[in-house]
Structure formats: C-alpha cells, structure tokens
Chains A and B, each alone.
Chain A
Amino acid sequence: MSDTLLQAKGLSKRYGGLLAVNDVSLSLHKDQLHAVIGPNGAGKTTLTHLLSGDVAPTQGELWLRGQNVSGWPHHRLSLHGLGRSYQKTNVFLALSVWDNLMLAAQSRHARAPYNPLSWMGNAANDKAVREGAERALQLTGLAQVQQIIAANLSHGVQRQLEIAMVLATEPQVLLLDEPLAGMGASEAEAMVTLLHKLKKDHAMLLVEHDMDAVFALADVLTVMVNGTVIATGTPEQIRADAKVQAAYLGETA
C-alpha cells in the first residue's frame, strides 16, 4: 500500500533470558486504526516502546514515512511525525492545560536552542503556536478546563490532555497505549468518539484492554501472545480465528 506511514520489520526485544517481543512485523496505514491486543505480559507495551523509540530493539528495523528511522532518538521521531501517549499518564502536572498544549505546539515552530533568537520574545504570544494549541483544544473538547492545572484534573481528563498534547505536535502516526485505562464510562465513551474522529488523516496504533472499544474502532487487529504475533486480520477474521479463541478470547468466545 502506498500510504504506509509506519512499518516495523522483524522487531525483537530481548531482556536477558526473556524475549519480550519476538520478530514482530506490522505496518500502519493512513486513515486506519490498527489495534494490538493480547493478555497481560504479551509484550504490547514493549512493542509500543519499540515503535516510539523509547526502547531500542535487539533486532529489526523501523521505517517512518518511507525512511529508516531505526535508532533515532525520541525528539527526531516526534519531529518526523510520530506521536505517542503513555500507559501511565505523562503530562506536565504543574502546568495548566493551556500551557501543556502551548509547549507541545511550540515544538513544531521551535528554533534551535543555541539560536539567540529563541532566547527572546514571549513564547505565550506566538500566533502560530497559539493556533496549534487552540486546534488541539477544540479537537479534544478541553476548552472549558484550559486554565486548570493538570494535577487537579480527573484521571480521565488528564488522559484526554495527553492525547491533546500529542495532537498539538501534528503527528501523522499516533501510538496510543491504553488510552481508556482507568476511565469512567462516560469519559471512555468520549474518548472512543475522539479516537473515531482521529482515524481520519492519521495512522493509529491502539493498545487496549477494553474489547468493546477495540472491536468498535479497529480496522485491523493484531493478537500477541508471549511476545509473538499469533494472528493479524480484520475484526471478523480475528473473531473467527481458532488460535486466537484458544489463546486469548477463551473457549466460549
């Protein structure tokens, strides 16, 4: 497919004797949501770490927008169009929602730190940055809480904020690690609606335990068990797959 944005080629990660991720290949396409499911300890989060550059693979290659980006540091991947949210909420707790988003949006317009021009001027007044933050605010519906300090937000809203921050960096590929974890029913519903909206124009990877959400959102599903991919396909194919039923969904599924 021509609009493959992220491609993993034979990624493996070994921690001592444990093969956490074993020869995983997958590709993410524009306008598609690719969900990864599997029991606890299947290596889903490690896989996300490999795809986001948080962890270096023992083996394998990572391609982003047609370029081999294996071994690139975090910030370069981000600037090349990759954004991710974390399983454990990762925002600037001491800053307001607006300031969180401003710092995120500013990264797209930043001069090099050693350029003296970046030492001057008021960051809060940069028009292009404000527009980026505003867009993320509208997209995620956080406008009412924009002046609230992130630490004082509910867990669910913090998770929304994290996704808003990622969106403010205008990524083309989105890696979301359990965005629904610990959310109340109404918060989860809002998040699913948001993710549905985001499918357009983004290539998304979703790691999630909430099966209703996964089957409602996913275009492609990958099932991992013990670090290995045991099946990949559409939700219907996965539901019908005997191996998946045995290993993961259980006999009665």
Chain B
Amino acid sequence: MSTPQAHLETLPRSVQVFLLLGLVALLAFPFAQQDFYTQTVTRMMILAIFAMSLDLLQGITGLVSLGHAAYFGLAGYVVAYVSPQDAGANWLIALPLAMLVSALAALVIGFFVVRTHGIYFIMVTMAFSQMMYYLFFDNKALGGSDGVYINVRPAGWGLDLENKWMLYYFTLVCMVITYAFLRRLLWSPFGRTLNGIRLNEHRTSALGYASFSYKLTAFTLAGALAGLAGFLWAAQTGYVNPELMGFHMSAHAIMMVILGGMGNVAGALIGAFGFEIFLDVFKDLPKIGNFDLGKHWQLWMGSLIVLVVIVAPQGLMGLLRSKKADDE
C-alpha cells in the first residue's frame, strides 16, 4: 500500500486568480447569454456544490463514498413532498428541511458505514444508496419509478425560484457560501484532524482524537451539503426521480472531484465545471460516416478521466498552477 500523500491545500496564486475571474464571469454571465445557457450554468453550479460536498469525504477525510447521491436525491424528494399542488413551497422552510433530512439520513447511515475502511466503505456506502434507490423506485406512494413533479417551484421572502435569473443568482450565492465554508473548514482544527485521519487514522486516534466521531461528523456535514445541491436541483428541474439517488449520480460526483483534483475544495469546483463542459463538447461531436462520435461520449469521457489520472494526478487544478509554485 502506498503512503497517503499531502494534497495541494494552499492554492497557488494562479488558481486564486482563475477562481476570481471565474466568479466575475459567473456574475456577468446571465447578462451576456440566452436563457438556455443560463440554465446550463445553473446546473453546473449545482453539481459543483454536490462535488464539493463529496470532496469533504473523498479528498479531505479520505472516505471514498460511492453512495453520496443518496443524500442529494433525498433532499430533492423532500422539496417535492412539501410543495403544494398549486403553489410553491416556502424556501425558508423547504431548504433547511431538505438539508436536515439529508443530514439525518447521513447521520444514521454514517453511524454504520464510517466504521468500515477502504474497499468495504466503498461497498457499504453504495449498498445503502442502492437501498434508498429501490425504496423510492418500488414504492408508488413515494413516487415510484416515475418520480414526482414539483408544479410550482419554491418561493418566499422576495425570492421566486420560478424566475430563472433569481434561481441562477441564488445558486451562485449558495455555491460561494459552500466553497467559503469548506475552505475555512479545511484549515480549522476539525479540518486538520480530518486530514490526519486520511493520512494515518491509527496515529490520529492514538493522539487522542475520537476518529469515529470526526468521520461521522464529516459524513453528516457532507450529507447536508449534498442536500443543499439536491434542493437546488429539484428547484431547477421541477422534477425528481430515483435516478437522482442512483449509482450513476454518485459516480458522476466522484469523477468530477478526480478530474478537478482532490482535497482542496477548489479542485472539486473546477472539476464540476470542467466535467460538464467536456460532457457538452463530447455530446456535440459530429458523425463520421456511420459512426456517431457524439453518441459515444462516454467513451471519450472515460478516456479523458484516465488521461487526467495518469498525466495530472492532482487534477485540472494541478495543471493550473505555475512551475514557480512547484519550486516553492
């Protein structure tokens, strides 16, 4: 087994500048573009929140969860259930409630799964999310395989998420808050201890840290933040179905985190945008003779991920940093 490595936690100047420019671009974007692209970018920002929430587990704590979508999808269902037929739910109630339900589910499931390590952790997290998936898939009362529609999107207190612009900026604010929260957490006593657990759990507990409580807290927090993303997803699409909790959604998040670079939150953020942009590019590839390149986008995406893992183990973010940062 190889020794766990330190992550690139201190962001190089080049990455900081890149993120700042990105923020400016996101603030200005709806003014420059049509509705369609505004919605595409909203979706990217939601997935970025989801990816960052996973990075708290995968990158910072070293817990690779293959069932993180369970908490994402569950929050979406909460929005659907609390939305009346002919009016929008009050987001001030629906949002905290969605996050709370996701956090509670993560707390209960985490109580069982964070005792396991390595490959067992991966399998058990996947098993629990599949259980949730089939619970919703097989129960007509919960919406069944068709899912549930949200006729009117959440609103309240001057905010109406039916409005695409308001949804866009609300999502942007949520993304910035999530990023700032996790970056701060990374350097906090809690974050340093999670990093210690990732590097050497045995030593960390011998130093007097109750690693179980630390991991369970991280798992619960990550679940709550995935719930935030799930709320926004439901608010955007107006529709939830079991696929949101499915294996593909979980794997999607893992790939975004790997693509961007693990353990520093910024990588997950960049990875989420990068993944979605590459996805659109690959899906738009032309037909060559009988062979439709775009239809086989998964092939190109898979190759890209493999390439990134080989060429840039620290993800796209690792590529962004200058040579100078390497020498320091």
Interface residues of A (CB under 8 A from B): 52, 54, 73-76, 78-79, 84, 90-95, 102-104, 106-114, 118-124, 126, 149, 151, 165, 169
Contacts and interface: CB of A to CB of B under 8 A. Distances in A.
Contacts of B203: 90-92, 165
Contacts of A54: 206
A94 B191 CA distance: 16
B187 A123 contact: yes
A113 B210 contact: yes
A76 B217 CA distance: 18
Contacts of A79: 208
Interface stretch (B2-10, B43-51, B249-257, B310-318): B2-10
Contacts of A75: 205-211
19 contacts: A78-B205, A92-B200, A94-B4, A94-B199, A103-B207, A106-B192, A107-B209, A109-B189, A110-B209, A112-B213, A113-B193, A113-B218, A114-B213, A118-B188, A119-B191, A119-B221, A123-B187, A123-B189, A124-B187
Interface string B60-76: 00000000000000000
A118 B189 CA distance: 6
Contacts of B206: 52, 54, 74-75, 78, 84, 90
Nearest to B181: A119
B296 interface: no
A102 B4 CA distance: 19
Given A75-B210, A91-B203, A103-B207, A123 B4 contact: no
Interface in B1-50: 3-6
Contacts of B207: 75, 78, 103-104, 107, 165, 169
Interface in B181-205: 181, 184-185, 187-193, 196, 199-200, 202-205
B282 interface: no
A86 to B, nearest CB: 8
Given A110-B209, A165-B207, A95 B188 contact: no
Given A94-B6, A113-B193, A118-B188, 12 more contacts: A90-B200, A90-B203, A91-B200, A92-B199, A93-B200, A95-B199, A109-B189, A113-B214, A113-B218, A119-B221, A122-B187, A165-B203
Contact of B3 (A73, A93, A107): A93
A113 B208 CA distance: 12
The interface centre, meaning the residue of A90, A102, A113 with most chain B CB atoms within 10 A of its CB, is A113
A123 B208 contact: no
Contacts of B211: 75
Q: Which of A54, A78, A84 has the most CB atoms of chain B within a 10 A radius of its CB?
A: A78
